[in-house]
Amino acid sequence: MTATRAGARVIRHPDGPVLASAAAARLATRLVDVLAEREVAHLVLTGGTIGIGTLAALAQLPAREAVDWGRVHLWWGDERFVPSGDKERNETQARDALLDSLPLDPRFVHAMAASDGPDGENAEAAAERYAAELAKYAGSSGTDAPAFDVLLLGMGPDGHIASLFPDHPGTHEVAPSAIAVHNSPKPPPNRISLTFRVIQAAREVWVVASGAEKAEAVARALSSADQVHTPAVGAHGTEATLWLVDEAAASLLQQ
């Protein structure tokens, strides 16, 4: 384990499958601990290969049975603005990997709207709808969103997190809690994303990254202060920031 910029901790694992299993076990333990202290837990899910792989690993862990899933609120950090049920949606992938096998309270599953949802193809209205949903559960956080207990993030080779891409307009947004993203450099072009402000209000932020193609971005994110050019710089929580990586993704970091 390595301490780095702004108190972030880097925790290395041999490869992607071990990383996914370890992250899943860590997540189950964290949720049990949170629910021992508070009435409910708020968890933000991510997509991507390793993010969904973590959920799939959790589905296979006996430890998942220790979590009172009926008391867990599930949110998403970003979503592809495509029709409901589309295989590209993070929600669809999460349901297939884990959620459909859990005894969740449907009222606590806060999916971002799809392009065939109540707002049609109006991504701005869908983002405003999600912002309103976040505000409903802000509680005593003092902001317009919950203080998430764990906010999971993947990271692209370009250093993007959620749907906040390098030098893209979304990296400059400070007022809304959720925004529409257009002309994404990675398809599909239209998305919805949380903003840095809400991400950074989470109690714990975990970045899960795997693969040699992520190594440069990991090293840059942990040594830079420019979250506009390298959005992963902005991945940090109020109580803890974890970088859960495999050795390939950590290969450019100092031991």
Model pLDDT for residues 95-114, shown as the tens digit of each residue: 999 999 999 999 999 999 99
In the chain, helix, strand, coil percent, each to 5? 35, 20, 45
pLDDT of res. 2: 47
Q: Dihedrals φ, ψ of 123, to 5°?
A: -65, -35
**Can you list the residues of the chain whose pLDDT is less than 50?**
1-3
Q: Which one, of 235, 223, 120, lies nearest residue 171 by Cα? A: 235
Query: Hey, what amino acid is at 53?
Result: G
Q: Is the pTM of this model over 0.85?
A: yes
pLDDT of res. 3: 42
Cβ neighbour number for residue 6 with a 10 Å cutoff:
10
Q: Which one, of 92, 45, 201, lies nearest residue 138 by Cα? A: 201
pLDDT of res. 141: 62
